[in-house]
Chain A
Amino acid sequence: MKKLILTTLLSMPIILTAQIDRSIQPVAGKAPVINIKDSETFTLDNGITVILSENHKLPRVSFDLFMGSDPRLENNKAGLADMAGSLILSGTSNKSKDQLDKEIDYIGASLSADKSSITLSCLTKHMNTGLGLMSDVLLNANFPESEVERIRNQSKDGLISMKSDASSMANNATVKVNFPNHPFGEVMTEESLTSISRDDIVNYYKTNFTPKGSYLVIVGDITKQEAIAITNQYFSSWSGNQAYKNDLSFGKMAKGNQVYFVKKPGAVQSVVYITFPIEMKSGDKNQLPLTVLNGILGGGGFGTRLFQNLREDKAYTYGCYSNVTVTENGSWMSAGGNFRNAITDSAIIEILKEFEVITSELVKDEELSLTKSSMSGNFGRSLERPQTIARFALNIKKNNLEEDYYKTYLQRLDAVTKEYVLAMAKKYFTAKNCNIIVVGNEEIIGNLTKFDSDGKVDLLDPFGNPLKEGKPADITKEQLYSNYISAVTKTQNQKELAKKMKKLKSYESKTELTNPQVPAPFVMMSYWMSPKIEAEKVEGMGMVLQKSYSDGKKGYTFSQGNRKEMTDAEVAKKAKTAGVFPELFYKELNLTLTGIEMVDGKEMYVVKQIDDEGESFIYFNKSNFLKEKMVAIRKQGEETVESSVTFGDYKDVGGFLFPHTTSIGFGPFTLSGKVTSIILNKKPDLSSFK
């Protein structure tokens, strides 16, 4: 009954208010006053600056302790600081890691650390327990050897996975090209990881985690009196050397646009970053106008030029953004996104165009006011989080800003003119000296040459280092094959070779393949019988896993219990190169000698073979012409996959050289093989292939 009345009452305004004109955007009410609460600052005798932002909305509190040291070059130990950071919570001289984890989780708190900070967040009622654990870590972290090795192994796997993550590879390339000889440009590799010792880590911690120059930021449900008491209780006994200060460069600007490419096999999209360093350190008076400029270009939001052009107009991407990162130790711009292979180059054209326009023309009033409104809205919303207030206070201290820097933020934002924005663009941005980083499918490299002012795309490895480059071959394809054949057949000329091959009637070999994950070895048997019979069989776990047979007239393959007859064309193709040394028939294949490359530490001739299944590469050792490796890249639908076979330990059998070790790899999965027997000129038993 009550509800009925309510409904009736509510339905009345329909008639009364149906007058609103929906075609008119409503006008805003009176602008609310934005209040920025003050935060408190005090120092401890050992040099910690404490910043407190009280907020009693929720009964919780957080403590962020930031170190004051600048980053330093790590050279051949790149990644040291990060590794030390991930080991800080590995135990103390009082508590094992297990105890520490248990006690933190027990109070529902979170304690985390990285290379330059330790953070605790918990309910206020658990504050003392939490701080006890935090200060134990700070004062007594002891980096047990076992944990160092565990994190090393985990990092090793991390580096492996990174090779399938396009964004990480693009980030590596970005810092490498923008910041050579600068701590920002150092990226951990497999080698640098190996050379980091526990002593390095302990030393890093000792010299960088020092109270001098550090900041402790406290936010939440705590009073100033309590804060003074607990900081003295838990942090005053901490001591250490002066913070390390490093005068770092602004990074290196490219001369002309430079394209850097990182290969990601099978990629369906490219990650594109157009990037350059910016000569600015945080706290610069131009930082705010530069942020306005970036806001118009692509700094978040739906209304930016990059987003409107590349997504809303061209539909090239889910999102295209630009970011300006300004820090105390170096700053840079990066603009880009993820784009499907076919339009990657078109996307780069559009992004560069936007850089060109914004560095040469005044922005529109409408854009400027949109960005300013959006930024002032962001500013207002950010005040909802008490962390923001504390961050303001921290920035003021760290960057020597005026005390009212944030209180006058909105006024200063409002004062930015379009002329000033253009001046910022001319001073800091460029469309002509950009590093253009692309991580993607190799098939698109050709489309990128046009962007490089030197007309050459630099290839980088996943860590952002130059990909070991090849040089042109010093012999012809014919010479290479003739040298290889003469090496493995131990003959000097065509006549001798023909005579020796004529006597070879059959071949049989047995190879055992193992992998730590596979309990018992696989056994691979290979057969050839003059002239065209070839057969192969892989057995494992008491079963035939794979089998193939062809004799020049017919053939089949057998895999996972299914037998499939070969087509006439497939049989003919196999017959073309049937024999112990298929290289004798190299003229039948579509081969190119592409050059000499450093592979696995050796100089090798590289031969590229193309057939209808895809591409493969064959590597011959330059010093003895022996075949060392084959890598096949096969198309699978829209994508490509890679597999490889290596050949080693060549030994004489009946006057010929045969490899006696091999490995077969796909992705990180590798089977290692040993050839246990090779029998020549004894008719093999092929009954199991009938």
Chain B
Amino acid sequence: MKKLLLSTVLLALGSTVYGQRKIDFVEYDLPNGMHVILHEEHATPIVAVSVLYHVGSKNEVADRTGFAHFFEHLLFEGTVNIGRGEYSKIVERNGGTLNANTSQDRTFYFELLPSNKLELGLWLESERLLHAKVDTKGIETQRSVVKEEKRQRVDNQPYASFITEMSKRMFLNHPYNWVPIGSMEHLDAAQEEDYVNFYKNYYVPSNATLSIAGDIDIAQTKKLIDSYFASIPKGQALNLYRDFVNYSDGEFETKYKIAKSKFDAKQFMASKNPEAKKLIADFQNKPIEIKRTQKDTEAIKGIIKEEIQDNIQLSGLFMGYKFPEQTHPDSYALEMLNDVLSGGSSSRINKTIVEKKQMANFAFSFNFGLEDAGMGIFAAIASNGINLDDLQKEFDQQIDLVKNELISQEEFEKVRNKFENDLISSNATISGISENLADNHVYFKNTNRVNTQLNEYMKVTREDIQRVAKKYFTQDTRIILHYVPKAK
């Protein structure tokens, strides 16, 4: 009785106040198509400058896997105005930090700087977009570095290949078939034209989102953005300019039937020569078509069960289901479902498989949501001497349970409280804010989702959770991988 009362009180608390902190922002498009998002807050005198390019490993061609990530490494090498190796040093010398990451869907670059160095951040990112420059030494070095990254993060890590192995079987007719780290042979095969084409096709303003958060003045920041980014040529005029910078006189004239000397080298876009002017105007009106991929809704064909040998001591079980893309309305319920199964010590999987039955040292599930599709993954590192088929039966039992019965009211409240806690705690740092804003714009076409996400979770009902369990945990179409110690 007492317990019930407690739940009711907490329920009342939980359902009335959703204290997600409101993130104010302004957003607009530059004439060249670049999207800009600005968030101003002055708690700490720092600023996050980030650019999200909507290109990831899913935009790679099948014989150049790993290229998007490799290219990310190359874009730290230098630019026309920044010498090799200087890019990161400039940031550090100015008390900042920087990095980047590449996923299946996007490539994300950021600098965190003292707020008086905002302009420096804009200059650096505009150089990356306008003037990237890579020499042979840079290419060869980064090629080796990326290979070492793969050895360190995947090949030499126990179980680390499971996302690769899962994707390979989950996405037969979609470029999610491979993962961002890609193939070493493909990197070796990359040619100069691959770099040039990738830059020209994907590193363009209309494929980029500039997101800035922190101790800034919006009006002042807009002015700076105009100087550094609005001045970047529109459409194919950008690639015309890039060729102007990189080509020799002869090469340029052969390609464009006009001498380089007719252009104004200092102010290319303001070239006065009528021929040059006309060419620039023509190219400005030629849009750059970004090749987009399609949603992947193809079901897994039956039960794909395979054994994978790895340098491990304890066997592991990895099970995958096809989930919808992350923007699908079912995603909210799916995430809450995952929390019932695997969120926290009291979750069903931890309580039964790890603690009560002690069949696994770790057991958990997670949702891997991507732009065109998703995966629901169950994973466990078996206790010594436990048979993987038996372990799978335990997972299956838990899956059957969420499919056949509504979760309890108490469990439902727990999950709601958890999401409330998590969403309130998110957006605690300006770097997190700049990234969330950009993601919400690019994937959800709704930047303000940073402020409304919690409401979406609170709309989910227990029935929704059961419905999505039934819909997506398809026992006759799934992937089951057994990781076993390497034998003879």
Contact = CB atoms under 8 A, between A and B. Distances in A.
A683 interface: no
Contact of A105 (B231, B346, B429): B346
B95 A380 contact: yes
B158 A385 contact: no
Contact of B270 (A18, A97, A266, A641): A18
Interface residues of B, number: 105
Contacts of B90: 25
Interface string A335-372: 00011100000000000000000000000000001100
A106 B414 contact: yes
A118 interface: no
B243 interface: no
A378 B97 contact: yes
B422 A108 contact: yes
B414 A302 contact: no
A622 B112 CA distance: 66
Nearest to B220: A29
A31 B120 CA distance: 13
A26 interface: yes
Contact of A59 (B19, B114, B226, B487): B19
A516 B81 CA distance: 67
Nearest to B41: A57
A246 B355 CA distance: 36
Contact of A380 (B28, B30, B44): B44
Contacts of A318: 145-146, 148-149, 151-153
Most buried by B among A26, A126, A153, A311: A26
Interface in B20-71: 21, 28-31, 43-46
A231 B311 CA distance: 50
A389 to B, nearest CB: 11
A267 interface: yes
Contact of A18 (B29, B89, B267): B267
Contacts of A150: 355, 358
Contacts of B346: 98, 101-102, 104-106
A106 B413 contact: yes
Contacts of B238: none
B421 interface: yes
Contacts of A667: 312-313, 484-487
A23 interface: yes
B249 interface: no
A30 B45 CA distance: 11
B329 interface: no
Contacts of B140: 315
Given A643-B488, A669-B484, A384 B46 contact: yes
A286 interface: no
Interface residues of A, number: 96
B155 interface: yes
A667 B311 CA distance: 9
Interface string B230-243: 11000000000000
Interface stretch (A163-171, A181-189, A592-600): A163-171
B228 interface: yes
Contacts of B230: 10-11, 13-14, 17
A7 B361 contact: no
A161 B312 contact: yes
Contacts of B85: 308, 312
A636 interface: yes
Interface string B1-34: 0000000001001000101010000001111000
Interface string A641-677: 1010000000000000000000000111100000000
Contacts of B351: 98, 101
A315 B141 contact: yes
A158 B89 CA distance: 41
A473 to B, nearest CB: 28
Given A104-B344, A315-B140, A20 B228 contact: yes
Contacts of A267: 156, 311
Most buried by B among A98, A313, A374: A374
A30 B385 contact: no
Contacts of A14: 31, 226, 230-231, 269
A269 B148 contact: yes
Given A303-B88, A641-B486, A166 B156 contact: yes
B383 interface: yes
Contacts of A385: 428-429
A157 to B, nearest CB: 5
B404 interface: no
Given A18-B267, A316-B148, A378-B97, A60 B425 contact: yes
A325 interface: no
Nearest to B413: A106
Contacts of B484: 667, 669
B437 interface: no
B420 interface: yes
Contact of A303 (B92, B143, B385): B92
Contact of B93 (A34, A158, A374, A384): A374
A632 B120 CA distance: 60
A15 B44 contact: no
A32 B313 contact: no
Interface string A466-487: 0000000000000000000000
Interface stretch (B124-132, B198-206, B367-375, B441-449): B124-132
A303 B89 contact: yes
A108 B420 contact: yes
B485 A668 contact: yes
Given A25-B120, A639-B311, A668-B314, A338 B96 contact: no
B304 interface: no
A636 B355 contact: no
Contact of A315 (B88, B145, B314, B425): B145
B288 to A, nearest CB: 18
A97 B430 CA distance: 37
Interface in B295-353: 311-314, 343-347, 351
A301 B488 CA distance: 42
Nearest to B131: A22
Interface in A286-319: 301-303, 308, 311-313, 315-318
A268 interface: yes
A666 B314 contact: no
A86 B400 CA distance: 32
Contacts of B103: none
B10 A313 contact: no
A101 B145 CA distance: 44
B227 interface: yes
B223 interface: yes
23 contacts: A13-B226, A18-B231, A18-B269, A26-B122, A29-B119, A34-B45, A58-B21, A60-B424, A108-B422, A123-B421, A125-B13, A153-B358, A160-B314, A266-B486, A269-B156, A302-B92, A315-B143, A315-B145, A369-B93, A373-B95, A384-B429, A384-B430, A667-B484
Closest 3 CB pairs of A and B: A377-B95, A667-B485, A108-B421
Given A33-B45, A59-B424, A268-B156, 15 more contacts: A10-B30, A11-B31, A14-B230, A20-B227, A22-B131, A28-B117, A29-B119, A105-B414, A158-B361, A165-B158, A269-B156, A312-B85, A315-B141, A374-B95, A641-B486
